[in-house]
A and B are shown apart, each in its own frame.
Chain A
Amino acid sequence: MRTKRAVLLPLVLLTLLLAVFPLVGETFYIQLLTKVMIMAIFAMSLDLLVGYTGLVSLGHAAFYGLAGYVLARVAPQYEPASLWTTLPLAMAACAAFALLTGLLVLRTSGVYFIMVTLAFAQMLFFVFHDTPIGGGSDGIYIYAKPLVKIGETTLLDLEDRSVFFWFVLGLMAVVYLFLRRVLDSNFGRALVGIKTNEHRLQALGFPTFRYKLASYMLSGTLAGLAGYLAAAQFGFVNPEILGWHTSGGVLMMVILGGMGSVHGAALGAFAFILLQEVLSNQSWFGAVAKHWQLAMGLFIIGVALLLPRGLMGLMGVAGYFTGKAKSVDE
């Protein structure tokens, strides 16, 4: 892994800071940061598609929500489900859904791709909203967090908010390192080639459709991981998690953080949710806090105008491929 030192050091420091947080932080903030880290996984998964493959999806919530519903449906009513079976099942369901829809949506591009991904996500929304399988608009409760056990020994007690926090932190780090690895491989370089000039890549003999499908499936499966964790954390699922607000929110995180940078996407998730918390804090902003969306909108407009590479642009890192020995994103 050839992560630039300049980026590596702050990342390691931030991870260490996060790791000690549950020892000192209040419950509310531990839970908030857990949610932020789950959204960071979600945003990184979308960045693989948007920032590296050049496919802007407005239907990523479909995978996020689907995985949550899988957990809710297969978990016993009042008892905990096993993580070993439910997590792979939820992610496999997302991979299968990505394969099925990918074969269709990847035949389009640009604005049409945005429309078709949105359409599929909305279809799924209405399937869970209007049929009994998902409990309708009320959704389903998940009364207990999944069990992580080997035999009779509990490896991780996810009911403990600190343990759940560390579990999510660990998975976020794994997803980050995994994506860095994948993006620096031949496969990842081909994806960036598709984003840059798909036509040329085809003329060189790359079967680009297959690459895009693989990227779409990988992205959807990782979004499923985020959705599973979110459902486990909040203890319920409802059709809102499949809605276009969710898709739009995660897309905004990616754009805010900086498309085409894995840690940029994660940073975007942190900035987006924490800012939302700060701006809507009534004890700080009083009556204005009700209108936090206005301030958020202004902030996003500001970033879009001043930092075309998102918050990552602040770090003053050089553009892609400034040298052959450097990795795709830096």
Chain B
Amino acid sequence: MSEAILRAESLTKRFGGLTAVSEVTLELHVGQVHAVIGPNGAGKSTLTNLLSGDLPPSAGVIHYLDEAQVRHNLAGMKSDRIARLGIGRSYQKTNIFLPFTAFENCRLAAQSRLPRAWRIFRGADRYADVNAIAERSLQAAGLSERSEMPAAALSHGEQRQLEIAMCLETQPRVLLLDEPLAGMGPQESQRIIELIRQLTPAHAIMLIEHDMDAVFAVAHCLTVMVNGEVIESGAPAEIRASLKVQQAYLGDAHGGFNG
């Protein structure tokens, strides 16, 4: 296996007395989907926030190998810097610019990667290349028809697709997807699963998801978290066979957990 593009070592996040993420070690590789599963409150979203810089870790390091094969430690770095290094994310709760049109959401995202942010005298709509990127990604997300609509007027599924489209426009190498299927209908879900498959060869993807069918359909590797700790990590077949996982996680299904 090639060297990991991102490797978190002993990553820990404490909120006062609560340890939300405890000594988590995890690797992401280009061409692979690494799914992180676990019951609600297991620390999956907190883990995503640590990797994206939305929260600073209390301890641990995050090694990242950038495009030029330069090594960075992302722990404690600010989120905008991490994003520019090539780590894109979507949020569990849709996070877009609601009053802007779908097009402007995408245009703004495309703008983030161009070295012209400080040109203050040229109209933002007059960059043909940026407009083209924005239009292409709207099309890829199936939102061409909705281009001029305020994002707030889009359906839940469309908003989620828009967010992923925006994230892709920043040309990330690592994608952190926090429950991309939450609240989606079967057709929309299928569309996202298909999109994840398409993106896999060129990206390292971390997928947090409760939909086990989807997880086992796309994941090359799974990490199971319970109460902030990793209890098992391995190939899908190993996870299915793991007694620990069955006891701690799947076992809960009989007790009412609807994973």
Complex Cα spacing A323 to B96, Å: 17
CB under 8 Å from chain B, chain A span 302-324: 319-324
In the complex, the chain A residue whose C-beta lies closest to that of B147 is A324
CB under 8 Å from chain B, chain A span 198-237: 199-208, 211, 214
Please pick, from A204, A208, A320, the residue contacting B109 in the complex, using a CB distance under 8 A.
A204
Q: Would B103 and A204 count as touching, CB distance under 8 A?
A: no
Q: Which residues of B contact A2 (CB under 8 A)?
A: 123, 125
Q: Which residues of B contact A185 (CB under 8 A)?
A: 119-124
Q: Would A321 and B99 count as touching, CB distance under 8 A?
A: yes
A189 and B109 contact, Cβ closer than 8 Å, known pairs A200-B96, A207-B80, A323-B101: no
Complex Cα spacing A1 to B150, Å: 22
Q: Which residues of A contact B79 (CB under 8 A)?
A: 202-203
In the complex, the chain A residue whose C-beta lies closest to that of B117 is A186
Q: Which residues of A contact B100 (CB under 8 A)?
A: 193, 196, 320-321
CB 8 Å contact bits of B132-150 with A (1 = contact, 0 = none): 0000000000000001101
Q: Is the interface of A mostly helix, strand, loop or mixed?
A: helix
Complex Cα spacing A202 to B108, Å: 12
Count residues of chain A with CB under 8 A from any CB of chain B.
34
Q: Would B80 and A199 count as touching, CB distance under 8 A?
A: no
Q: Spell out A's residues near B (CB within 8 Å).
A: 1-2, 181-182, 184-190, 193, 196-197, 199-208, 211, 214, 319-325, 327
Complex Cα spacing A206 to B79, Å: 9
Instruction: Give 22 pairs: A residue, B residue, CB < 8 Å, sorted on A.
Output: A2-B123, A185-B122, A185-B123, A186-B127, A188-B124, A190-B111, A190-B117, A193-B108, A196-B100, A202-B80, A203-B89, A207-B81, A208-B80, A214-B118, A320-B100, A321-B100, A323-B148, A324-B101, A324-B103, A324-B107, A324-B125, A327-B123
Complex Cα spacing A48 to B221, Å: 49
Q: Would B108 and A197 count as touching, CB distance under 8 A?
A: no
Complex Cα spacing A264 to B111, Å: 28
The 3 closest A-B pairs by CB, nearest first: A205-B83, A205-B84, A202-B80
Does B12 have its Cβ within 8 Å of any Cβ on chain A?
no
Query: With A199-B95, A200-B97, A205-B84 given, can you name 4 additional A-B contacts, CB distance below 8 Å?
Result: A185-B123, A190-B108, A203-B91, A324-B103
A182 and B99 contact, Cβ closer than 8 Å, known pairs A190-B111, A325-B125: no
A324 and B108 contact, Cβ closer than 8 Å, known pairs A196-B97, A196-B99, A203-B83: no
Complex Cα spacing A322 to B147, Å: 11
**Measured between C-beta atoms, what is the minimum distance from B160 to chain A in Å?**
14
Q: Would B112 and A187 count as touching, CB distance under 8 A?
A: no
Does B240 have its Cβ within 8 Å of any Cβ on chain A?
no
Does B224 have its Cβ within 8 Å of any Cβ on chain A?
no
Does B166 have its Cβ within 8 Å of any Cβ on chain A?
yes
